[in-house]
Amino acid sequence: MTRQSDPREHLASAKTQAVLRIQHRILIAVREHLREQGFIELLPPIIGPVTDPGARGAKQVDIDYYGHRYKLMTSAILYKQATLLAFDKIFFIAPNIRLEPLETAGTGRHLTEFHQIDVEMAGASRDDIMELLESLVRRVIEETLDTSADTLGEVGRDTAALAKALLVPFGRQTHSSAVGRLHAMGHPQNSDAEIDWQGEVRLASEAEQPFFITDYPKGSRGFYDRENEQQPGSLRNFDLLAPEGYGELCSGSERENDYATIVARIRETGENPAKYAWYLKMAREGIPSSAGFGIGLERFTRYIAGVDSVWQASAYPKIPGEPSP
């Protein structure tokens, strides 16, 4: 589907308006659910001396901050860990900027400006946070089906398929078994990397419920995802994929909070720890252990509304490579 690059055409379209109304309901349900579980919403920073280096393949954007090179946030992960110094259960609705490679312009899954529902919880295990994520996604599906049936109808969503997501608990498979399944389908997936988006489409096309992929290999993710002590090389992390071919909605993990291990992990990724001075000082003085996740809001909206592309789930879409307002 080609995108409407004219803002009037896009914003005045009945379809855009319906999708944005669905997104509004999603945000209401997310905030209610997290508030009921004791989470506090904070407003995230947009710039900082460093940002998440784990934005695979995407370029960061530099700005001149009074003679210092600062970054626009590719994700709020470092600040999520910092915020646990104030509160045990926190979330942001955070804007992210990633200059994604040009070849992602047509995937329907990549914008250069998007938002994450970014949640972090002190003392949580991977199971705790996966349980919270599953309950949150279920709540959003239930509430949109309840409150927005007409709007879902307007955008042509197959609501029976959406309702099927609620029938059984979300399944789980490890990264290595997902790679095995893809190889069996003849898809050339690299076993040391994240599942590529074409592979995700294939796995997600066979699914009727959202499902987790766990235990991604070290090197495929950021230094902040905790390594499994019992299984070195494998991380205590996960993705949640949406069914019906939609693919990745969310990535999450238990976090590394040991100072020496964080420094070693940063070095392993080829980065200079000195760049992360504020974060490492904080880690040296002590940060809580935690687990958390980030759900892409436009991807979540795309799945719930059943539209082809994430640009349809943004009021001001920016597609990689395309100049836009």
Q: How many residues make contact with Mg ion (CB under 5 A)? A: 1
Dig out the tokens for 241 from the structure.
Answer: 């994929």
Contact yes or no for 249/295 (Cβ under 8 A): yes
Beta-carbon contacts of 170 under 8 Å, excluding residues fewer than 6 positions away, are 134, 137, 209, 210, 211, 212, 240
Dig out the tokens for 314 from the structure.
Answer: 């943004």
Residue 249 binding partner per list ligand AMP, Mg ion, none, with a CB distance cut-off of 5 to 8 Å that depends on partner kind: ligand AMP
With respect to Mg ion, which residue has the nearer C-beta, 243 or 247? 247
Residue 200 binding partner per list Mg ion, ligand AMP, none, with a CB distance cut-off of 5 to 8 Å that depends on partner kind: none
With respect to ligand AMP, which residue has the nearer C-beta, 53 or 276? 53
With respect to Mg ion, which residue has the nearer C-beta, 104 or 251? 251
Residue 296 binding partner per list ligand AMP, Mg ion, none, with a CB distance cut-off of 5 to 8 Å that depends on partner kind: ligand AMP
- CA 184 from chain centre, in angstroms, equals 27
Task: Find the radius of gyration of the CA atoms of the chain.
Answer: 19
Q: What is the distance in angstroms between the CA of the first residue and the CA of the last residue of the chain?
A: 20
Contact yes or no for 54/76 (Cβ under 8 A): no
Summarize the chain as % helix, strand, coil (round to 5): 40, 20, 40
When binding is defined by CB under 5 A, the residue of 16, 23, 116, 251 that contacts Mg ion is: 251
With respect to ligand AMP, which residue has the nearer C-beta, 251 or 312? 251
Minimum distance between the CB of residue 184 and ligand AMP, rounded to whole angstroms? 25
Which of the 8 DSSP states describes residue 7? H
Closest residue to ligand AMP: CB criterion? 296
Minimum distance between the CB of residue 239 and Mg ion, rounded to whole angstroms? 6
With respect to ligand AMP, which residue has the nearer C-beta, 178 or 310? 310
- Contact residues for ligand AMP, defined by CB under 6 A: 55, 75, 98, 100, 110-111, 114, 116, 248-251, 294-296, 298-299, 310
Residues that bind Mg ion (CB under 5 A): 251
